[in-house]
Structure 1
């Protein structure tokens, strides 16, 4: 019996052991709402693991709403009783922080590289100006987003940075706060028909540059490909940039695969990053699309995972990249230059998005009646090895 228990424990991933340890202490009431957790370094030493492993465990707990983070202060137990979405919002007095200097960042997925970079930029700027940043995951759920907005304002934060959930409709709570002159800055996208303060990348310009690069190489039949959970304004802008580049060169629009999974009854992964089965489904759809469009010599993939799935689909079909098919990604990914086929990518200024959003928010706090602004950051096209002049398939 003991041998079996020991064997089972050894098979448990280290980050899961840390997560279970924290959950056990919560359930046994050793730690209660708004208690501060041990530091990452302390947990790393206790379990004899790297801080990266601790970060992974903490990210899961934040994603589940069991703990919350205050940048520069640490991690705290959420208020769990009687609140479905937990956390409420950290009572600042328990954390030893004045609510007058608190900002909240709401983001769909804390684990995504884009959210992490935005967070880093915003936290750095706010810390330099005497503010603390609280981070909340909305899990890409609009109702949870609404409740967290209400709770944050009720608790007394000075302002809100929000990376909205994906979808065609926006959260009416953002509009209400904006009309009431509460400091809110929307990041990475804008709200259709609503005059809000926002900081976005130049998605139209990025898509235009990517498509123009393919045209410059001699490609005439360029497909647009995106497989994603839901549509967003940033994806719509990428379609517009693609079409604008083709129109400017007097080329017809190429075949288009724009498949949004939630519109077809499929669930998005809670982490915000596709799981193996979802990536496989993406690859199968893109593979069928390429088979149906054999004249296509280039693809503009509107997201990182659409690009990765395109590369895999090409491999499955025996199509060589870039000799027979050129692929440009919109958005880079970690260590992309070291991948089997380093992709040509449109790169956003991810950290700068957070910095500029924080800067704009503080200016609104100082002057709530100022004219609303939309800041657009230029993108950059990084040329690698996934694009080349066309040749016969």
Structure 2
């Protein structure tokens, strides 16, 4: 972990004192000179800390008199609500991205604490309790329909909320997402550059319901378009009882249609495909190439190792928490969509690019 700049240490200490009630509304905080002497720093450093506190809406400054706690901040943090809730939909043992690592980085040096709750325990009844007890929420939705009502309730109650991974039009919350379209493009473009002519996109859920999957599919279409390849195929689950049944159908159709490569919606779908392909005795990547999405831990432990698109989960968690804290502490928070870059990771389930 990087050592914090001295001005940031001062800023965090004063912010903590305000949030925990040491300083009340309109109460004066230490001056530039007093802070410089207390922390053994220059007045330039202490002045920067106070300027940042003013920019973040914690204090107001009166020329010749000093710096004072803003009323809006004191009102927002009344009741010492310093717990941030991360609603996480997938089990801890799935090997999925470490969002929490980034969140912990964001709250270091602040009074905030992280609480993680599974999506399964979230109900409309528990929502009122969450709004009462938490300072803000980082929400990772499962799908648009199931979570729309809850997110809108949070919005109507003016609950500081940041959404991870998916976008919800019509609800003004900051969203942090990966560059899913670029990832879908890079995965497809790579397969085409290895000499494949017939590449299909595989989704275990309706692409129109999930913004992340839809963006990956658009990236797939873009790559085909730029390569002037008109052989597009979408395998979209239309209600199979199990993932195994869906994968079987995908492989049957792929073999019948001469598909040479598959871009999977995510690593879990890709792994299911690989396991079934191996059972059928089909050579990977000689007969069929596979690319996943997410770079979960299992993708590298698999035999053969999965070529995939990596998301920067830590960076996403960090940015989501930083933006949430801004919402909590700002009287007029800015809502925005933040797109985080992805990385294409070449492993063993794809051929080498032809030179």
TM-score by length of 2: 0.70
Distance 1:159 1:224, change over 3 A: same
Q: Is the aligned partner of 1:240 residue 2:218? A: yes
For the structure 1 residues 390 and 187, does the alpha-carbon distance in structure 2 shift closer, same or farther, using more than 3 Å as the test? closer
Aligned to 1:21: none
Aligned match for 1:281, one of 239, 242, 245: 245
C-alpha distance in 2 between matches for 1:255 and 1:390: 22
Deviation digits for residues 135-179 of structure 1 (CA, Å, limit 9, x no counterpart): 11122x8xx344433320023x11111001224464233224335
Structure 2 residue 81 is matched with structure 1 residue 100: yes
How much has 1:113 moved relative to structure 2? 4.4
Residue in 1 that maps onto 2:266: 303
Structure 1 Cα separation of the partners of residues 96 and 269 of structure 2: 18
User: Cα RMSD over matched residues?
Assistant: 2.6
Aligned mates of 2:214, 2:281 — CA distance in 1 = 31
1:328 Cα shift? Answer: 0.8
Structure 2, unaligned stretches of length 5 or more?
1-78
Over 3 Å counting, the alpha-carbon distance change for 1:390 and 1:223 in structure 2 is: farther
SS of the equivalent of 2:259 reads: coil
Q: 2:111 aligns with which of 130, 134, 144?
A: 130
User: Are 2:107 and 1:120 aligned?
Assistant: no
**Cross-structure match for 1:29:** none
Post-superposition CA distance 1:361-384 (Å, at most 9, x none): 001112141321111101000111
Give the Cα separation in 2 of the matches to 1:356 and 1:338.
29
Q: Note if contact 2:267-2:299 (Cα within 8 Å) is conserved in structure 1.
A: no
Q: Partners of 1:390 and 1:122 in 2: how far apart? A: 38
Check conservation: 1:342, 1:385, Cα contact below 8 A.
Answer: yes
**What SS does structure 2 have at the residue aligned with 1:318?**
coil
Matched-pair contact (CA < 8 Å) for 1:297–1:390? no
Of 180, 194, 197 in structure 1, the residue corresponding to residue 171 of structure 2 is 194
Distance 2:343 2:196 in 1: 21
Secondary structure in 1 matching 2:201? strand
- 1:14 corresponds to: none
Count of aligned pairs between the two proteins: 275
Q: Structure 1: how far apart are the matches of 2:97 and 2:193?
A: 34
1:153 counterpart residue number: 131
CA distance in 2, matches of 1:127, 1:226: 38
Q: Does 1:362 align with 2:329?
A: no
Following TM superposition, by how much is the alpha carbon of 1:116 offset from its aligned partner in structure 2, in angstroms? Answer: 5.9
- 1:327 Cα deviation after fit: 1.0
- Classify 1:368/1:184 alpha carbon distance in 2 versus 1 (closer, same or farther; 3 Å): farther
Give unmatched runs, 5+ long, in structure 1. 1-97, 267-277
Change (3 A) 1:221 1:115: closer
- 1:60-89: CA deviations, max 9, x gaps? xxxxxxxxxxxxxxxxxxxxxxxxxxxxxx
Closer, same or farther: CA 192–145 of 1 in aligned 2, 3 Å: farther
Aligned residues of 2:206 and 2:236 also touching (Cα < 8 A): no
Using the TM superposition, give the Cα deviation of residue 344 of structure 1 relative to its aligned residue in structure 2, in angstroms: 0.9
Tell me: CA distance 1:207–1:175, structure 2 relative to 1, closer, same or farther (3 Å). same
Q: What SS does the corresponding residue of 2:173 show, helix, strand or coil?
A: coil
Aligned partner of 2:335 in structure 1 is 372
**Matched residues in 2 for 1:347 and 1:301: separation?**
13
2: CA distance between counterparts of 1:209 and 1:298? Answer: 14
Q: Secondary structure at the match of 1:255?
A: strand
User: Quick one: higher RCO (CA 8 Å, sep 6+), 1 or 2?
Assistant: 2
Match of 1:383 in 2: 346
Instruction: Render the CA deviation track for 1:234-263: whole Å, top value 9, x for unaligned.
Output: 1111111111111122211422211155xx
Match of 1:175 in 2: 152
Q: Is it true that 1:291 corresponds to 2:255 in the alignment? A: yes
Matched, 1:324 2:287: yes
Between stretches 381-390 and 303-312, larger displacement belongs to 381-390
CA distance in 1, matches of 2:80, 2:238: 40
Q: 1:385 to 1:105 in 2, by over 3 A?
A: same
Q: Which moved more, 1:193-202 or 1:176-185?
A: 176-185
